[in-house]
C-alpha cells in the first residue's frame, strides 16, 4: 500500500484549530476515548460510518486505525457487506445495524434496533456506541 497516494479534497483538520476545538468540546461534556465498549468494535463502527458518509479522509484515518488495533484485514475489507458476511459476531451485527440506523436517521426503524442492542450491551455501552 505504500505506492498509493492520497490527496485530501475536503479540509485539512491540521491546518485549522479543528483538533483542538474537538478535544475541548469533548472535554466539556466529559467524553474520553476510554470507553467500556470493546475498542475494536468501536473502531469498526467508526469505519462503517466513514463508509456510509463516503468521506475519503475518514476512510483513510479509520482504516489505518483498524489496522493499528489489530482488526483482521478481511474483516475491514468485508465491512461494507457485513449483513451478508459470517465474519461478524451477533453483537457486532446488532451494533452495526444500530450504527447504520443512527447514521441514516431512520426514526421508524430505530426502536427495534435499540431494543436489539439491550441483548448484547449495557446502557453505558449503548450510549458510547451512539
- Mean pLDDT to the nearest integer, 89-99: 96
What is the rounded distance in angstroms from the CA atom of residue 19 to the CA atom of residue 6? 20
What is the rounded distance in angstroms from the CA atom of residue 58 to the CA atom of residue 12? 11
Of the ranges 24-28, 29-33, 43-47, 74-78, which one carries the lowest mean pLDDT score? 29-33
The answer, as to whether pTM is greater than 0.75, is yes
What is the rounded distance in angstroms from the CA atom of residue 70 to the CA atom of residue 106? 32
Using CB atoms within 10 Å of the CB of residue 63, give its burial: 0 to 12 exposed, 13 to 18 middle, 19+ buried.
buried
| DSSP 8-state code for residue 12 | -
Amino acid at each position: 500500500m505504500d505506492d498509493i497516494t492520497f490527496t485530501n479534497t475536503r479540509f485539512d483538520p491540521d491546518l485549522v484549530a479543528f483538533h483542538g476545538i474537538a478535544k475541548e468540546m469533548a472535554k466539556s461534556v466529559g467524553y474520553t476515548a476510554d470507553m467500556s465498549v470493546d475498542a475494536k468494535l468501536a473502531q469498526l463502527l467508526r469505519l462503517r460510518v466513514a463508509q456510509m458518509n463516503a468521506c475519503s479522509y475518514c476512510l483513510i484515518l479509520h482504516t489505518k486505525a483498524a489496522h493499528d488495533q489489530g482488526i483482521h484485514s478481511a474483516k475491514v475489507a468485508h465491512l461494507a457487506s457485513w449483513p451478508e458476511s459470517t465474519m461478524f459476531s451477533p453483537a457486532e451485527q446488532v451494533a452495526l445495524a444500530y450504527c447504520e440506523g443512527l447514521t441514516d436517521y431512520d426514526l421508524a426503524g430505530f426502536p427495534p434496533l435499540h431494543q436489539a442492542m439491550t441483548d448484547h450491551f449495557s446502557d453505558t455501552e449503548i450510549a458510547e456506541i451512539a
